[in-house]
Amino acid sequence: MLNTAERMDSQISNLIRLEGYNATAQELPTALSVLVVDDEPLMVELLSRTLKDLGHETVATGRDGTEAVELARKFRPDLVVIDYAMPVMDGLEAAEIIMKELSVPIVLSTGRTDDETLQRARKADIHAYLVKPFHREQLKTAITMAMVRHHENLATQAKIAELQDELAVVKAVDLAASLLMEKFRIDRQDAIEKLETAARARSCSLLDASRAVAATLAPRPIVQHAV
């Protein structure tokens, strides 16, 4: 059983290792299902043809941001290539909705490179950009960048969840150990060992055992009755 200091060291170590995470193109799927959205039919055709040439499948196409959201919900593609400037709802707004709901990597295609557009895209945390006009290798690179960034984001979220779980265990064990120390006049190591023994006896996790002990031993609030 790790003590609190060792757990803290472990958490810090995990955070440091997280910085070294780096997905590579070799780790990514080679054939993707792709949603293509652009209000220019010729651009949709060009993107679809180039995607096929790269070994990917265009599962659906749309003409505006609203269609993009609806089609993403329906087909749940591996990747979305979406134009920035479109009617009804622009591509950036649609991309934000899709990323929030489905956690899908996004390639934003645009012919605009002004500061306002770039700032909006950065704020939305778009995975990759494709500047029009483009050629095959530029699309290939944008797809790889989008997938790598998406995998990095997922890895970060997983590590954060893992650390939050570990922190919950540390806090629960610390509270339960303190309550046992006070009730039975034992030291912290003995208290933690008793928690571990109780968890094994009950076939439950250390977290559940600690929460049960805390619920039982925690002082109840004193209720003052009006005189």
Strand order in the sheet with 106-110: 57-62, 33-37, 79-83, 106-110, 128-131
Helix axes 4-19, 136-184, angle to 10 degrees: 180
Q: How many residues does the chain have?
A: 227
pLDDT, average across residues 167-172: 83
Q: Could you tell me which of 53, 200, 78, 35 has the C-alpha nearest to residue 140?
A: 53
pTM above 0.75, yes or no: no
Higher pLDDT, 202 or 9: 202
Q: Is pLDDT above 60 for 50?
A: yes
Contact (Cβ atoms closer than 8 angstroms) between residue 129 and residue 113: no
Over residues 122-150, the mean pLDDT reads 85
**Mean predicted confidence (pLDDT) in 201-214:** 85
Percent of the chain with pLDDT over 70: 77
**Confidence band, pLDDT 50/70/90 cuts, at residue 124:** low
